[in-house]
Amino acid sequence: MNIRMIVGLGNPGNEYRDTRHNAGFWLLDQLAQQWQVSWRNEKKFFGDMARARAAGREIYLLKPETYMNLSGKAVAALAQFYKIAPDEILAVHDELDIPCGRIRFKQGGGNGGHNGLKDIQARLGTPDFYRLRLGIGHPGDRNLVTGYVLNKPSTAERELLDRAIEQSLQHLPLILNGEREAAVRALHSGA
């Protein structure tokens, strides 16, 4: 495990800033602040990018501006330019199938109907990138999913998500240092 790119999934624009679907952006914004790096818009990577030095290597942070459904366009552009393999990518995203505030970490697998993951898999040609899944809960009816992910969480849910992000950032060094089992134990036992 040698993560060289961390991509946060979300939708650009003020109308989406505080919606559940932008949980990946929230984590990346806090990580950039923690690592004291600045975002800059990179047209050739279709998003905002920051470059950091962590775990003894250069790590690229990316927030696609392509909207969720085309997240793979930005991920593939950055990965191709810097020769980053799919198994060197960590995608941070909201997850309907996990209770709000819980975290899961894994490599590969399906996309669970998540359009951002779907597009990344299609553009990379493989599902074998890592995922940090921030649980947002499910509205209970699949017909309500679109409205649910594109709306703000309640105050209580946002507090749970903020704690999950804090916990994720606290244990991110385990992921960056290749301590996969320790990362799973730490992240899955929390919230």
Predicted pLDDT of residue 74:
98
Please check if 14 is assigned to a binding site.
no
Query: pTM of the full predicted structure?
Result: 0.96
Tell me: pLDDT of 160 over 80: yes
Tell me: pLDDT of 83 over 90: yes
Please check if 69 is assigned to a binding site.
yes
What residues are labeled active site? Answer: 21
Tell me: pLDDT of 190 over 70: no
What is the end-to-end Cα distance of the chain in Å, rounded?
25
Instruction: Tell me the per-residue pLDDT of 23-54, one tens digit each, with 9 for 90 and over.
Output: 999 999 999 999 999 999 999 999 999 999 99
- Residue-range definition of the domain harbouring residue 179: 5-189
The structural domain count of the chain equals 1
- State the average pLDDT over residues 141-155: 95
In this structure, what are the phi and psi dihedrals at residue 27, rounded to the nearest 5 degrees?
-65, -45
Tell me: pLDDT of 13 over 60: yes
Confidence of residue 191 (pLDDT cuts 50, 70, 90): very low
CATH of the domain at 140: 3.40.50.1470
Write the DSSP assignment of 61-114 as a string of letters.
EEEESS-GGGHHHHHHHHHHHHT--GGGEEEEEEETTS-TT-EEEEES---TT-
Instruction: Tell me the per-residue pLDDT of 162-182, one tens digit each, with 9 for 90 and over.
Output: 999 999 999 999 999 999 999
Please check if 82 is assigned to a binding site.
no
Predicted pLDDT of residue 113:
86
Instruction: Tell me the per-residue pLDDT of 96-121, one tens digit each, with 9 for 90 and over.
Output: 999 999 999 999 999 888 999 999 99
- For residue 119, the Cα-to-chain-centroid distance in whole angstroms is 14
